[in-house]
Structures are given as structure tokens and as C-alpha cells.
Amino acid sequence: MEFADAPDEAEFRAGLRSWLADNLLAEPAPLHGPERAAFWGAWHRALHAGGWMGLSWPVEVGGRGLAAVYEAILNDEIGRAGAPPAPHVGFLGRALLHFGTVEQRRRHLPPLLSGDEVWCQGFSEPGAGSDLAALRTSATLDGDRWIVRGQKVWTSDAAWADWCLMLVRTDAGAAKHRGISALIVDMRSPGVDVRPITQINGDTEFCEVFLDDVTVPVDRMVGTPGQGWELAMTTVGYERGPADVGFSSRYVRLLSELEVFAAGADLTAHQRLQLARARVHVEVLRAHVLRSLSSRTDGSPPGPEGSIDKLLGTRTEQALHHAAADLHGAAVVRGAAPVVRSEYLYSRAASIAGGTSQIQRTIVAERVLGLPRAPR
Ligand SMILES: Cc1cc2nc3c(=O)[nH]c(=O)nc-3n(C[C@H](O)[C@H](O)[C@H](O)COP(=O)(O)OP(=O)(O)OC[C@H]3O[C@@H](n4cnc5c(N)ncnc54)[C@H](O)[C@@H]3O)c2cc1C
């Protein structure tokens, strides 16, 4: 594969680099609360106004119709500049792109891309995380509307979301994976009760969502009844991967910041080991995403290989923040290094969010390596 930019890509990169130089937000992201959500909303809208959102999305839904490699360049430059990452809205929008009607795409995708409307993902439930097909939230047809009843949990951004892409059971008699459908739920509907959960780092990113006879018009079903599992697997494929060079350039920058911080310090053998381990993981991740980038640039949906990226990304993120916490030592415990502390604590969630590392290993074993399925 040729890694150098083609002339059009180089021109795009130069324009983006200069936009980033002019538009980097002066203040760091607040650590938690509505201020944090407002910060991300402002960054999302700024990127959209600059023309940097939906680069590889169809023009008719507000995208720019460019090749997927431009998304990699965007992430690469954002990582290099130390700017906040581009909002991770794409995976929900991709579900609408693949399964939504023309009307659903036209109505919902432009404001999702612009950041004018916020979406959340209502998949997990108490008792249905790794075993997602065990979900019990039901939707019963009543004339031209679905009546939704049940509970979701760990729903990121639900406290400020306008819409939820929600998995519901529409056929209790069908086999577990077949009786599931996907609905677009208006988060301001009567009967939706959102209760934020405070995380160990003090943030309230995710919530419990209780649904008490919530009415959803029939034209807000995405795909056909029973197609929810297929939609869910496509969505998590985008959520878990694909990593690209930009994904790793953020880690490269974090690592170099750590190395600058450590330079000249009298490190213990343990601190040196943590730093070296983080460097090895960053290098392995970078080599992996460079190798696999070519298979992704044609824009085809990500397959189970995304689980390899998620595992390597998780390992790198946790190693880096672990090393950072070790280097800052007691200051992290005392609360004198709040960003390092918060990022370290949040990095622990990387091996859970979007599917746990154990589940990713099973996917890699069974669906990438073709090993025999474990008895279930
Ligand atoms: C920061 C964060 C944000 C999240 N945001 C969202 C969101 O926006 N929307 C949403 O729907 N969900 C969200 N989630 C939920 C996430 O998808 C689930 O937490 C995850 O799928 C694990 O499910 P669980 O928590 O029910 O754990 P469980 O499935 O109960 O797993 C508990 C432990 O058992 C292990 N385990 C379970 N089954 C197996 C198996 N078959 N083989 C081997 N080990 C197994 C797991 O690996 C884990 O270690 C979020 C989670 C986090 C941490």
C-alpha cells in the first residue's frame, strides 16, 4: 500500500491542518457534568460548520461523499493537533444508512451529523449486556403505534439525547435473536424516565432509562420487524472498529506527552517498565492499523476483524493511562492531577464499553480464526 497522500488528499490535509490551527478550542474539556456535554456539542458543531463531519457519508444526507481514507486523515490530523476527537456519532447513523427508509435518513441524518440533535444507543439492559439477545424491553403493536415497556441501562448521553436507537422485543414467541426489532424513540416522549448514573470519575455520561408505555409511531421502526439483531450487529461493527491511523495518532501524542513529562525524572524500574509497555502497545497498534487500512478504504462495512482493533486499542489505552497514573504517583490519589486521574479511571471502561474484551476474544476466535465454537 502507498502511504503517502495523493495530491487531493494532501490538499485536504493542508486545509484541515490550517482550520485546526485556527479553531482549536482554548479551554480543555470540562471533566464532567452538563458543561462537558456542552463542550462536546460545541466542538461537534464547529467541526460540522468547518465541513469536517460526514466526510464519507452520502451528499444527500449532509455528507461530503468522499472516500473513507479522508476520515482517516481527519482523525490523524485531529490526533496530531491534540484536538478533541471527532464525535463518535457515526455508528448510530450508519445503522440508519444501512437499514433506514429514505424518509428516516433525510429526517434524521443531517441533524445527527450537524450536532443539532443528539442520539443515544438503547441496547444494553440489566441482564442483557454481553448476552444482548436476552433483552426484554417489549414493543407491542397497537394500531399505528408501538407501545414500549421496559428498561435500558448504561445508555451514554441519554440525559441530553433527543433520540434513541432502541432495541425492543416485538415477538416474544420467536427465537431469541429473531424476535428483536429497532425503533427510533423520541427521548422526550411521555413515559421516558432518564436517571443518570454517577461514575467513579464523577461524570454522569451514562444513565438508566425507564420506559413506561411509551408510544412510538410505526414509521419509526428501522428495518423490518425481526431485523433488529442484524441491525445491532452492523451497528456494533462500526462502533468497535474500524480503527484507523487517526485512532492511533491520538495515542502517539499521549505517549510523547508522557515521555516529555518523564524526561529527566528519576524513574523507578516499575515506572520505566510501564512507560516501555505503553510504547510497545502504541507501536503494535499503529503497525496493525497501517497494515489493515487498505482493506477499509473502500468503505465496505466492518466485519468481525474490528474486534482485533478494539482489543489492541483497549490494551493501548489502558497501558497509557496506567503509565500516566504511575508517573504522577501520589498526586493522582490526592486529587492533585485531576485529568490524569479521571482519564485513568475512565480507561478502565474501555474493556467493557461496546462489548467486553472477553466477548471480543470469542468473536476473534470463532469468526476470524474459525476455531470451534464453545458449547453454549
Ligand atoms: C463507558 C460505557 C458506556 C456504555 N454505553 C452504552 C450505551 O450507550 N448503550 C448501550 O446500550 N450500552 C452501553 N454500555 C454497556 C456495554 O455495552 C455493556 O456494559 C457491555 O456489553 C457488557 O455488558 P454487562 O455490563 O451487562 O456485563 P456482563 O455481560 O454481565 O458481563 C460481566 C462479565 O462477564 C463476562 N462475560 C459475560 N458473558 C461472557 C461470555 N459468554 N464469555 C466470557 N465472558 C463473559 C464479561 O466479559 C464481563 O467480564 C456502556 C458501557 C460502558 C462501560
Give the residue, by CA position, lying nearest to ligand 1 atom 44.
358
28-49: pLDDT as tens digits? 788 887 888 888 889 999 999 9
Model pLDDT, residue 50: 95
Rounded to the nearest 10 degrees, what angle do helices 90-99 and 102-114 cross at?
A: 170
d(CA 71, CA 248): 13
Model pLDDT, residue 180: 98
**C-alpha cell of 296?**
477499509
Distance between Cα 300 and ligand 1 center (Å): 27
Q: Which of 32, 118, 130 for mutating ligand 1's site (highest number of atoms within 8 Å of CB)? A: 130
Atom of ligand 1 nearest to the CA of 130: 29
Model pLDDT, residue 147: 98
Atom of ligand 1 nearest to the CA of 354: 17
Residue 270: count of CB within 10 angstroms of its CB = 9
**DSSP secondary structure of 111-152:** HHHHTSS-EEEE--BTTBSTTGGG---EEEEETTEEEEEEEE
Rounded to the nearest 10 degrees, what angle do helices 228-240 and 90-99 cross at?
A: 140
Catalytic residues: 239
Give the residue, by CA position, lying nearest to ligand 1 atom 3.
353
Rounded to the nearest 10 degrees, what angle do helices 306-328 and 228-240 cross at?
A: 50
Pairing of strands 180-186, 192-196: unpaired
CA 139 to chain centre: 26
Q: Which of 124, 233, 367 for mutating ligand 1's site (highest number of atoms within 8 Å of CB)? A: 124
Determine the length of the chain: 376
User: What are the Cα distances from residue 107, in Å, to 91, 300, 323, 369?
Assistant: 17, 24, 45, 40
Average pLDDT, the chain: 91
**Amino acid sitting at position 182:** A
315-372: pLDDT as tens digits? 999 999 999 999 999 999 898 899 999 999 999 999 999 899 999 999 999 999 999 9
Give the residue, by CA position, lying nearest to ligand 1 atom 37.
130
Distance between Cα 136 and ligand 1 center (Å): 16
Give the residue, by CA position, lying nearest to ligand 1 atom 51.
353
Residues 6+ apart with CB under 8 A from 140: 146, 147, 149, 170
Model pLDDT, residue 273: 95
Of the candidates 224, 218, 222, which has an alpha carbon nearest to the alpha carbon of residue 96?
A: 222
Q: What percent of the chain has pLDDT over 70?
A: 95
95-133: pLDDT as tens digits? 999 999 999 999 999 999 999 999 999 999 999 999 999
Q: How confident is the model at residue 216 (pLDDT cuts 50, 70, 90)?
A: very high
